[in-house]
């Protein structure tokens, strides 16, 4: 009982530290809010009306902060990122800003009109690389929508926590683009060619499917998020007095210990699942993953489209209108063939680095 009370008190401490005694950066828009509990930093992406879409001011704020937090012997042992509000962690980049840049170029023909967009992407990809190589463990709590730029902020970090409300997608081919933000690094590393499936079709994954796909490293039910926050506070504070050496990572929260502790939160919930509301049927089952692997493991985009279409026709014939291939075939039919070909072509060999993948769109 006493332990439960302490946990609730710690969680309230974390939440209260985020309002209103925050240190504020990017003061013109208040787009980033940061709290500094002992030995920890909590970053809120704070554009809830825009689904926390990532803009240039946010990137310019976050990049130097994350670079500074890498210092050996510093006072930051753990970083937590969240999205403000209940609807999104981060729904992508600021499309309005990018549209304005493109419109300016279309109207004037002046390449300088595109310079702000180029600079945004350059800084965003640099931030993605810093997150992917961070010595300090970065925990992203993926509440709500996680797409595009939000994927780049989270998927390269050591700990990505999906929850009941998580909706993940890489929808770039649907707008004539291709998966960026390091997509050509992490998508091919997902099991069963799921990365090719997600990158080409823009399919949305929800809840536990995000964990099954390997996009998330953990799943914590919404009912356990306060317990998660209390755990993170406790683990950051427990690093007090530990010395850093080149042979260890003890100046920071131990990622393996952290992973086991977060996993236990899900196990606690599973043990009490009898009275819980039923979750939606998963998209990713052993059967569907085998089918996806067979179709999207084919070496050519044309063969993939043909195989998915054949699967959709067979599903309709047997009256299975919910089969994954039906929606996938429809999405592939709407996407520009050039975009599909580009998306498939940018996936490098598995021994490529994150830096290589982030550099590829500018080549």
Name the pairing type of β-strands 138-142 and 32-35. Answer: unpaired
Q: Which of 132, 143, 144, 149 is catalytic?
A: 149
Q: Which of 44, 83, 92, 93 is catalytic?
A: 93
Closest CA to 149 of 130, 124, 167, 173: 124
Burial level of 55, CB count in 10 A (0-12/13-18/19+)?
buried
| 351 included as an active-site residue | no
Helix, strand, coil tally for the chain in percent (to 5)? 55, 10, 35
| 143 included as an active-site residue | no
| 94 included as an active-site residue | no
Helix pair 194-201, 286-296: axis angle to 10 deg = 70
Closest CA to 140 of 110, 117, 161, 112: 161
For residue 308, the Cα-to-chain-centroid distance in whole angstroms is 27
Q: Which of 44, 124, 180, 209 is catalytic?
A: 180
Residues in the chain: 363
* Sequence-ordered alpha helix ranges (H) in the chain: 2-18, 56-68, 95-108, 115-132, 149-154, 183-186, 194-201, 208-212, 225-237, 255-271, 286-296, 301-317, 324-334, 337-345, 354-359
Beginning with the edge strand found earlier in the chain, give each strand of the sheet holding 218-219 in spatial order: 23-25, 32-35, 40-45, 78-83, 138-142, 159-162, 218-219
Buried b (16+ CB within 10 A) or exposed e, 267-282: eebeeeeeeeeeeeee
Q: Which of 94, 164, 172, 209 is catalytic?
A: 172
For residue 270, the Cα-to-chain-centroid distance in whole angstroms is 24
Q: What sign does the CA torsion over 61, 62, 63, 66 have? A: positive
| 172 included as an active-site residue | yes
Residue where the block lists tokens 């683009």: 177
Report, as residue numbers or ranges, the catalytic residues: 93, 149, 172, 180
């Amino acid at each position: 009982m006493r332990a439960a009370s302490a946990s609730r008190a710690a969680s309230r401490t974390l939440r209260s530290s985020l309002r209103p005694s925050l240190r504020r950066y990017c003061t013109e828009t208040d787009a980033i809010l940061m709290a500094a509990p002992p030995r920890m930093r909590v970053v809120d992406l704070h554009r809830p009306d825009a689904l926390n879409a990532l803009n240039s001011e946010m990137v310019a704020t976050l990049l130097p902060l994350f670079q500074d937090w890498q210092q050996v012997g510093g006072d930051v042992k753990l970083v937590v990122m969240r999205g403000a509000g209940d609807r999104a962690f981060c729904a992508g980049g600021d499309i309005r800003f990018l549209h304005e840049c493109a419109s300016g170029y279309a109207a004037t023909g002046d390449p300088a009109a595109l310079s702000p967009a180029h600079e945004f992407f350059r800084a965003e990809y640099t931030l993605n690389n810093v997150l992917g190589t961070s010595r300090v463990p970065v925990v992203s709590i993926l509440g709500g929508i996680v797409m595009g730029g939000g994927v780049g902020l989270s998927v390269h970090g050591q700990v990505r926590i999906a929850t009941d409300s998580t909706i993940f997608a890489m929808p770039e081919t649907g707008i004539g683009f291709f998966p960026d933000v390091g997509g050509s690094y992490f998508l091919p590393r997902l099991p069963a060619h799921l990365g090719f499936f997600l990158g080409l079709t823009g399919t949305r994954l929800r809840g536990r499917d995000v964990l099954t796909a390997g996009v998330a490293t953990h799943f914590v039910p919404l009912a356990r998020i306060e317990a998660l926050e209390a755990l993170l506070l406790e683990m950051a504070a427990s690093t007090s007095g530990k010395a850093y050496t080149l042979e260890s990572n003890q100046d920071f929260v131990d990622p393996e210990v952290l992973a086991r502790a977060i996993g236990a939160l899900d196990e606690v919930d599973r043990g009490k699942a009898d009275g819980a509301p039923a979750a939606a049927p998963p998209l990713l089952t052993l059967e569907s993953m085998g089918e996806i692997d067979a179709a999207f493991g084919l070496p050519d985009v044309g063969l993939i489209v043909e195989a998915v279409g054949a699967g959709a026709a067979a599903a309709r014939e047997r009256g299975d209108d919910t089969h994954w291939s039906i929606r996938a075939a429809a999405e592939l039919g709407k996407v520009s063939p050039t975009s599909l070909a580009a998306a498939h072509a940018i996936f490098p060999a598995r021994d490529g680095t994150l830096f290589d993948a982030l550099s590829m769109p500018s080549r």
